[in-house]
Amino acid sequence: MADTGERKARRRSILPQAATVFLVAGCALVLEIVAVRLIAPYVGMSLYSWTAVIATVLAGLSLGHGLGGLLAGDPTRLAPRTAAVLAVGALATLAVPPLLRLLAPRLLGTDAEVMVQVGLLSLILFALPAVCAGAVSPLATRAALARRPDRPGPVLGAMYAAGALGSILGTLAGGFLFVPLLGSITSVLVVAAVLALLAALHLLARPAGLAALLALLVAMGGTLLFLAHRRGALADPCLEESRHFCIRVDDATAFTGRPSRLLVLDHLVHGINDRDDPTLLHSPYLAAIDARVRAALGPRPFTAFHLGGGAYTLPRAWQGRARLQVVAELDPAVTRIARDRLWFRPDSRLRILHDDGRRALRRLSPGTRFDVVVVDAFRDIAVPFHLLTREFFAEVAARLAEDGLLLLNVVDRRREPRLAASVARTLREVFPMVESWLEAGEAELLDGRVTWLLVAGRRPVDPPSLLDDRHRSGYAFRRVTPRITGEPIRLTDDRAPVELLLADVLRRPELAE
């Protein structure tokens, strides 16, 4: 009889348990990727949002592993306990969209530091789904060992491998398939549905338990969906959700007093386009760029390279003056929406490269030079550090004409602007001439969040301390040196701690809004 039992044990497959671990691990990683996209319309996408979400998911998985180990003590109750954990995970996942709509405006409107706000939002939304996902692995592994007690080592290896492979697949599927093809909300619903289906499959041998589970899922899931629909939580906040951004276009007529629209990428306005007058620049930093280029180059035609297209506000404004413009825009969807919704009409003198700006600059033919290089690829406090380093500035210098200008905007504090000061120091290691400008009203502030315009070139010049563009844009700009206590940091490809330099902006909600 013992030999017969051993032979039966050897014939038992652990595939159902391995498949469960594989699918749940995949769902957890899909949800982790989608989580950052879900909260982006409220807090943007930055190192801090990724850090908060990853830390929350890892903490939840760790806690879940411990909880699953406790639940796995009784081998006769593994199936119903696994089903219960999966059902709770499905309902917790389904609750994410309505909770996000309910809590985000309240949490982000408090006086807490921005990093604390993002951390709390991530914890409330994603901790419980992660705990449930983590609890499944010990339960399924215990069930697999019960089926093949003769081979504990290979069983453990197979279960660990299934979890790792599921995590890899979930990461790839979340970034390359779910978000771009389904969008964040639909991706959450799919993950919840997979978890609910797995819960039901674990109770196929227990009809009474299956019926009770289905009744629970229908009642609670239906209630959550109804409430979410009533609050509009299932409606996609994005006009289009691309691989990179949640893209939205809003009417800006009430703000500008003219027919105009603005582009929002995640939670930040990236340009305001005037329908009837492309040269009318409503954003002060763009007006400052235009005014500084006019002061340097006068009315003569010029060539320009733009790192970042966004609403294509500046390339659109310069179409009548530039003899050639090259725009490096990472996201083709942004370009398409600028054409369809923001009155952008590219012509033969404007070339668009859908690529990272630094890589696009390298792809140009070796002899290509520009009169103007504009770096406008920064998304609020999410700063692509590789566009602020000495090595990058050297690459730009090699592409500038003898009297050419590099212009870039940096969001920072008025007082103690550590990032702006560090960028200015780094520019001075490459360019003989470096200027810094603020809109005149911002220049008068004692503190607060402002947008610095940094200008660099090969030829030392002494421009006036005031750029008066009030006749054209309504703005004037003053030369102001970004001064800080201590020594600014030299930014390199090896070390560019932009998040550290912006920590004061993040810690103070009145500066980070």
Domain boundary among 170, 205, 237: 237
pLDDT for 381 equals 57
Q: Say yes or no: 233 and 291 in one domain.
A: no
Q: Are 390 and 426 in contact (CB under 8 A)?
A: yes
Angle at 291 between CA 289 and CA 293, to 5 degrees: 70
Distance, CA of 252 to CA of 125 (rounded, Å): 32
Choose among 235, 301, 61, 309: nearest CA to 164: 61
CA 124 to chain centre: 19
Same-domain status, 290 and 176? no
C-alpha count within 13 angstroms, C-beta hemisphere, residue 288: 26
Query: What are the two backbone dihedrals, phi and then psi, of residue 44, each rounded to the nearest 5 degrees?
Result: 75, 180
Domain boundary among 237, 262, 297: 237
* Domain tally, the chain: 2
Domain identity same for 171 and 311: no
**Residue carrying the six token digits 């398939």:** 177
Q: Output the six-digit token pair for 455.
A: 């200008």
pLDDT recorded at residue 250? 93
pTM of the model: 0.77
Looking at the fold, whether 179 and 291 belong to one and the same domain comes out as no
DSSP string spanning 266-322? TTEEEEEEESS-TT---SHHHHHHHHHHHHHHTTS-EEEEEE--TT-HHHHHTTTTE
Q: How many whole angstroms separate alpha carbon 377 and alpha carbon 387? A: 8
Length of the chain, in residues: 513
Which CATH number characterizes residue 359's domain?
3.40.50.150
Which residues are 374's β-sheet partners?
Answer: 306, 407
6 lies in some domain? yes
**Which pLDDT score, from 0 to 100, does residue 507 have?**
57
Same domain? For 399 and 451 the reply is yes
Closest CA to 319 of 279, 282, 291: 279
Domain hosting 313: range is 281-512
Q: Are residues 231 and 125 part of one domain?
A: yes
Partners of 261 in beta bridges: 251, 273
Task: Note whether residue 271 is domain-resident.
Answer: no
Torsion sign, CA atoms 338, 343, 347, 349: negative
Exposed/middle/buried for 10, CB within 10 Å: 0-12, 13-18, 19+? exposed
| Per-residue confidence (pLDDT) for residue 1, from 0 to 100 | 47
Q: Quick one: 373 and 501 in the same domain?
A: yes
Which residue, 203, 218, 237, sits at the end of a domain? 237
What's the pLDDT score for residue 509? Answer: 46
Residues 57, 114, single domain; the answer is yes
> Is 270 within a domain?
no
Asked whether residue 360 is assigned to any structural domain, the reply reads: yes
Which helix (H) or strand (E) is 55 found in, with range?
helix 47-71
Q: Nearest CA to 22 among 194, 223, 190, 146?
A: 194
Q: Phi, psi at residue 305, to the nearest 5°?
A: -120, 125
Instruction: Please list the rounded mean pLDDT of every run of 10 residues in the chain (513 residues).
Output: 51 85 95 87 72 91 94 84 91 88 73 74 92 94 90 91 94 86 87 91 75 70 68 70 85 93 85 93 93 91 94 94 94 94 94 92 91 83 82 95 94 92 96 94 91 90 80 90 93 87 65 45
